[in-house]
Structure 1
Amino acid sequence: MNEEQSSYVKEIVDGSIVTPIGFSAAGIHAGLRYAKKDLGAIISEVPANAAAVYTTSHFQAAPLKVTQASIQAEKLIQAVIVNSACANACTGEKGLQDAYKMRELMAEHLQIKKEYVAVSSTGVIGEYLKMDKIASGIQQISEGSTVSHADAFQEAILTTDTVMKKCCYTAKLGGVTVTMGGTSKGSGMIHPNMATMLAFITTDAKIDSDCLQSSLSKVIPTTFNQITVDGDTSTNDTVLVLANGMAENEAITAEHPDYPVFLELLAKTCESLAKQIAKDGEGATKLIEVEVSGSKTEEEARAIAKQIVGSNLVKTAVYGSDANWGRIITAIGQTNTDVNPASVDIAIGNIVMLKNSEPQAFSEDEAINYLNQDFIKITVDLHNGESKGKAWGCDLSYDYVKINASYRT
């Protein structure tokens, strides 16, 4: 993408999933949780081209199978129904029937084809859905396109999250302004390929469905798959993109001159949501970004970055504001990558601690002051190639144990 194209991608600070033309949302309390909203929906005025990626867990939850079936039918989705409190995972044939019933109930409520409905769930694994409450709740859904409607949906999908996660960007494709909004949930059990993470992205751009799927697959490895909170992969992770074409731009394909702009639009949306998930890790107090350069391949750079940010020893050192770079070098050493042990540089912030694998003198007080901030950047230069990669995670605090020790209670 050239510099002129890149300048087309702009952030809409107050935007959301309902900012793109033709999208609405809703979130209600259906009684799945004690008091909080627990059932949400995203709806497009017209069937939208759909693309999705899912967890690599062997135990994919029932809602994923239903969503996959819906997308495979016609590659079109018009509505998404999401519940929290129960993951509907590892629930056998009954769980699958319940997920299909959710699809059917939502389709009847909106009077659309059942294959146009995607289903998603998040919460406790191994419990059955309270289908009476879901059936009643779907009948109460009244969607809208205001900020409050978007917020209601975002609140309804949260579990142990402490904040709602959203972003919105705009760009010009063929001279026509298009918009993309996103929201996600995720706080613990985060170690994508992918993790306890749901992300929903809406856009009014017109794009070929196959191109939309390949675009999502291109940006996932450098965004959602580069975050980790605790090294555990969930059963329900889904990233779903809906493109309804209502901006009426010329259809984007991989050969279109503005395809790189669309790809950047999608990448920025996914990276923003991924970083917000990492920052809101259970019990987290700091967002950690690791940037690795000088690697032989991008894949190796990303693997090293993710190993560092996923190391419990690195995470606890950051929590305690301890500039123990030895934990970083240990994490690098565990990777199955091509590393020259005599040429590694490590810096925390702007403080260089290792140069060509030789320890450097630094001020402990300066390091502590930097590590006391809520954003920590670790940089590694391997001096072994021209490639680079990034990963994001969070520190590991006492509260992580408290939260997960009482998750079901």
Structure 2
Amino acid sequence: MPVNLTAPDPASLLPVAGVRLGIASAGIKTPGRRDLTLIELAPGSHVAGVFTQNRFCAAPVMLCKQHLGQMNQRGDTIRALVINTGNANAGTGEEGLRRAQQTCEAVAQRMGCATEGVLPFSTGVILEPLPIDKILPALPAAQADLASDHWSDAAHAIMTTDIVAKGASRQAQVGGKTITVTGIAKGSGMIHPNMATMLGFVATDAAIAAPLMPQLVKDVADVSFNCVTVDGDTSTNDSFILIASGQAGNAEIADAASADYATLKSALSEVAIELAQAMARDGEGATKFITVAVDGGRDHAECKQIAYAIARSPLVKTAFFASDPNLGRILAAIGYAGVSDLDVTTLQVYLGEVLVAEKGGRAASYTEAQGAAVMKEADITVRVVLNRGDVSATVWTCDFSYDYVKINAEYRT
């Protein structure tokens, strides 16, 4: 079961002016399931995205990148997103691209925009052809369902092995106006940067200059979705999309050094971090949510390197599932992380608030009972203090349970 995670109250997911969502049932994998989402954007909305680094990226990812580039080049804007679950349209070659393009063409015709103004997204089983014979007939129902308050419905519609729908909202004051940020995401397994098996869509009604969007979406991803790992597998379909509709009435943010930019970035980051943490809490078969914090590093890269070595170690993760304070596994992960000049005699390791290792070995004050007490908790923090600088990094993960194996063994059945 998800670790201290419940689905958001639909009323808590605030409408974003200039964004409407519609959901329909295409029956892609499960008959009758609402598995198709259409998102309509107001004219003039700005959109940017970051995508999987997997070289076997899916057809919709390739098409998204292409459409974003084309629209940016001619100064035009994205008008719609179409999202299906149940089929990833990955490992499908030229036919997969053709079917994704057909979907975009059909949406564009209905929405009255250019085909390049539509971004496609898919999630589900790999190596299976996209069933456009099911998707295209469901588009009219999705369009008829468009409404500004359907964020919760969309959060449920994009789920695959997720148990809990993921969504969050924030509001802030920018330029004397109240701006809203709302986002949804899906992801439970095959989660690891860059990025993780996840789809994330975060929208704001703030007005921000288009040239600032690519850096903004990257910065937000780097503190959120690129800080979570469930199983160390980077998916073929990962996409994080940032939308700014410009409908809030604030003066357009044009300076990345301004206070308004910082306020907007903070609100966007809060929503994205909540969604990213929800993925680890809802990791396939998860029973523990684990924060791995590395402090006192020389640079961000080495801190993240060590944090990920701990967070993605199957031996560490199975020890957490067993509530076994097998600290040697954590020390081993730190040692093989690849920081070649790391002096292990100068660092400390904490389990919760308990100092468990220092001076290259077990802390003199540490007892097995202390470690066992921490390991029984559902939310656990591992903190490594390197004592070689003032840089920190944090990643989030979960344990490995029997259910993780069961879920993935039965994924296609």
Give the TM-score normalised by the residue count of structure 1.
0.93
Per the alignment, in what secondary structure is the counterpart of residue 258 of structure 1? helix
Paired position in structure 2 for 1:66: 63
Pick from 42, 45, 48: which aligns with 1:45? 42
Q: 1:162-201 maps to which residues of 2 (within 5 A)?
A: 162-201=163-202
After alignment, is 29-38 or 125-134 more displaced?
29-38
After alignment, is 137-146 or 231-240 more displaced?
137-146
- Displacement after TM superposition at 1:12 (Å): 11
Paired position in structure 1 for 2:15: 19
Mapped pair 1:354 → 2:357: yes
Per the alignment, in what secondary structure is the counterpart of residue 124 of structure 2? coil
- Displacement after TM superposition at 1:13 (Å): 9.3
Mapped pair 1:393 → 2:397: yes
Q: CA RMSD in A?
A: 1.8
Q: Measure, in 1, the Cα distance between the counterparts of 2:344 and 2:357.
A: 12
Paired position in structure 2 for 1:279: 281
Q: Measure, in 2, the Cα distance between the counterparts of 1:63 and 1:139.
A: 21
Mapped pair 1:305 → 2:301: no
* Amino acid in the other structure paired with 2:351: I
Q: Measure, in 2, the Cα distance between the counterparts of 1:392 and 1:251.
A: 34
Per the alignment, in what secondary structure is the counterpart of residue 190 of structure 1? coil
Q: 1:223-234 maps to which residues of 2 (within 5 A)?
A: 223-234=224-235
Paired position in structure 2 for 1:125: 126
Kindly indicate whether the alpha-carbon contact (under 8 Å) linking 2:191 and 2:234 is maintained by their aligned counterparts in 1: yes
Paired position in structure 2 for 1:326: 328
Q: Measure, in 1, the Cα distance between the counterparts of 2:367 and 2:345.
A: 24
What is the aligned residue count?
397
Kindly indicate whether the alpha-carbon contact (under 8 Å) linking 1:181 and 1:201 is maintained by their aligned counterparts in 2: yes
Paired position in structure 2 for 1:7: none
Q: Measure, in 1, the Cα distance between the counterparts of 2:100 and 2:368.
A: 55
Structure-2 change in CA distance of 1:159 and 1:327 (3 Å): same
Per the alignment, in what secondary structure is the counterpart of residue 84 of structure 1? strand
- Displacement after TM superposition at 1:248 (Å): 1.7
Paired position in structure 2 for 1:5: none
Pick from 401, 405, 409: which aligns with 1:405? 409
Per the alignment, in what secondary structure is the counterpart of residue 400 of structure 2? coil
- Displacement after TM superposition at 1:143 (Å): 3.2
- Displacement after TM superposition at 1:241 (Å): 0.8
**Residue-by-residue CA offset, 1:65-100 (whole Å, 9 max, x unaligned):** 221122112232221100011100111111101001
- Displacement after TM superposition at 1:145 (Å): 3.5
Q: Measure, in 2, the Cα distance between the counterparts of 1:12 and 1:139.
A: 28
**Residue-by-residue CA offset, 1:114-160 (whole Å, 9 max, x unaligned):** 2221100001111101111101111211234465x222211111111
Mapped pair 1:370 → 2:374: yes
> Gapped runs of 5+ residues in structure 1?
1-10
Q: Measure, in 2, the Cα distance between the counterparts of 1:121 and 1:358.
A: 48
Pick from 374, 378, 383: which aligns with 1:379? 383
**Residue-by-residue CA offset, 1:272-314 (whole Å, 9 max, x unaligned):** 1111111111111111101110111112111211111111111
**Residue-by-residue CA offset, 1:237-287 (whole Å, 9 max, x unaligned):** 000111010002111121433211122122212211111111111111111
- The percentage of counterpart residues that share the same residue type is 38
Paired position in structure 2 for 1:116: 117
Q: Measure, in 1, the Cα distance between the counterparts of 2:121 and 2:273.
A: 21
